[in-house]
Structure 1
Amino acid sequence: MIISIAQMDIILGNKEKNLQKGIDFIEEAVKRKSDIIVFPELWTTGYAKNVKELAEPLDGKTIEELTDIAKKDIKIFGSIVEKAESCYNTMHYISSKGLEASYRKIHLFSLMNEERFFAAGNKIGLKENIGMMICYDLRFPELSRKLTMNGAEILIVCAEWPYPRIEHWRTLLKARAIDNLVYVIGCNRVGNDGKLEYFGHSSVIDPWGIRMIEGGKDEALLTCEIDLSLVREVRKKFPVLKDIKEVY
């Protein structure tokens, strides 16, 4: 399976330009024969002040356009602002068939008062063997473990993770892979939104905790190939998940 990560800068509040940039990344990922492309958190808007005004339903224009380009045989992950009974920071999984799955961010980042803009989700995001997580979720090992115990072999994390917490990001991605014997795909934005600077360092971690590829602090499309048989092989050799106890 070939994975591409669109480590992009986000133009605050400009859905049209961000979407076009995303389509350019997708076109290049298709040329690289990618099966999956992952975008950052809120990749079409960023954390704009008028983020609620930019929200749209999951059957809106953005999902329609992405479904159309997904017909080039690529699956598209990332998070956008969902308009429903409230606003949600929602991760999408889009294929040529349309929206396959969505996940509303459970852990809103209280340090930045994210709850002022979004309602929290209350269900895990899992489709087939892919678990979905958004940014701050990465700090809660209970979520990644629940996804794993429900069948995840890949955890996809989209984020807007700023300086100075670069080593937290790099360490937690590896920890979640090692904890759960899964592939972890982490996509973080780059650039500056006027208040915070984002460091990128998107990466793919294998089930042994080996970093297969890692970006720097600039825009890039990162591509590597993963082999899901390694997940089963590692779990067979190192049966951590079978040794979990009910005492805790």
Structure 2
Amino acid sequence: MSSLRTALLQGPAGVPGSVTESLDALDGAARRAAAEGARLLATAEMYLTGYAIGDQVAALAEPADGPSAHRVAEIAARHGLAIAYGYPERDGDAVYNAVRLVGPDGAPLADYRKTHLFGDFERAAFTPGDTPVVQATLDGVRVGLLICYDVEFPETVRAHALAGTELLVVPTALMRPYEFVPHTLVPARAYESQLHVAYVNRSGAEGEFHFTGLSCLAGPDGVVRARAGTGEELLVADADLALIAAVRADTPYLADRRPELYRSLG
């Protein structure tokens, strides 16, 4: 496949704290995305429950294969597209900030737990994940997963590039005043590691936070192919796979690396 049409669902869409309403909104978004030819629909961080929900995080957390996972699988299969969605995952006593990728047939493809927790709220609510690179193949495209703060570390994105990720999907809950992240940092990450980055943010006010929106699909040449505004929006754009090889031939960052010089950096 020469490109992967990707839909980015920005905003709460549902109502924070109401998993049922979030799932209903996801169903509608999947229908619209499929009608525009998307093969992948990605949501924001903690999409199912909302981000700023305080003590409800633990109460609403579900196992990776819990009831909400089955509903998302049904939505994906009904509309014939893959879905990457953020949610709080419960595994025993631990709760993780997680994203699951399900295929267009509803089968689970990958599960990722956020490895870099941001701020006091996240460190109190979640256990950090310990697997830096999680990938799956969708329509012949190597899709990788990170969550929000993870993408702000160059090491995480470079690890994906070295592992063969072509499209890096990043569910996000970025709040003001950090607008420079989607404007500047995300395109830089895409360029320096020469892959596509689908950065899918929340929008609007929630609790003490005001999310920036500005979701984007940034290409391996650092060019933003599509950019959302600050409100709720379904953004659809193509990740051109041929562009990766062209950019890497023109500016061979990965080939010109000298890893023997970097080992002391830890």
Query: With structure 2 as the length reference, what TM-score do the two structures score?
Result: 0.90
Q: How does 1:68-147 map to 2 (within 5 A)?
A: 68-71=74-77, 72-85=79-92, 86-95=94-103, 96-109=105-118, 111-123=119-131, 124-128=133-137, 129-147=142-160
- Partner SS, residue 58 of structure 2: coil
The unaligned stretches of length 5 or more in structure 2 are none
Match of 1:199 among 212, 221, 224: 212
Once the two structures are TM-superposed, the CA of residue 80 in structure 1 deviates from its matched residue by 0.7
**Counterpart residue number, 1:3:** 6
Match of 1:61 in 2: 67
User: Whole-Å Cα distance in 2 between the matches of residues 105 and 141 of structure 1?
Assistant: 15
Q: The residue matched to 1:112 in structure 2 has which SS?
A: helix
The TM-score, its normalising length taken from structure 1, stands at 0.96
Match of 2:236 among 210, 223, 230: 223
Offset of residue 159 of structure 1 = 0.5
> Residue type matched to 1:26 in 2?
A
Cα deviation for residue 97 of structure 1 reads 4.2
Distance 1:215 1:19 in 2: 22
Residue 237 of structure 1 corresponds to 250
* CA distances 1:37-64 after superposition (whole Å, capped 9, x unpaired): 1100000112312110001111111111
SS of the equivalent of 1:89 reads strand
Q: Which residue of 1 aligns with 2:57?
A: 51
**Once the two structures are superposed, what CA deviation does each residue of 1:167-212 show, in whole Å capped at 9, x if it has no partner?**
1232111111011111111000111112111121001111110111
Distance in 2, matches of 1:70 and 1:19, equals 11
Q: Is the 8 A contact 2:114 2:146 kept in 1?
A: yes
| Distance (whole Å) between structure 1 residues aligned to residue 217 and residue 192 of structure 2 | 15
- Residue of structure 1 aligned with 2:226, choices 209, 213, 217: 213
Q: Does structure 2 conserve the Cα–Cα contact (< 8 Å) formed by 1:64 and 1:98?
A: no
Which amino acid letter does the alignment assign opposite residue 81 of structure 1?
P
> Partner of 2:59: helix, strand, or coil?
coil
Structure 1 unmatched ranges of 5 or more: none
Matched residue of 2:240: which SS? coil
What corresponds to 1:31 in structure 2?
Answer: 35
Shift of residue 237, structure 1, vs aligned partner: 2.3
Deviation at 1:22, TM superposition (A): 1.4
SS of equivalent residue, structure 1 residue 175: helix
- Select the residue among 14, 17, 27 that pairs with 1:13: 17
2 CA distance for matches of 1:103 and 1:88?
9
Question: 2:72, 2:106 within 8 Å by CA — same for their partners in 1?
Answer: no
Amino acid at match of 2:244: V
Q: Match of 2:171, as an amino acid?
A: C
Secondary structure in 2 matching 1:148:
helix
Give identity over the alignment, percent: 30
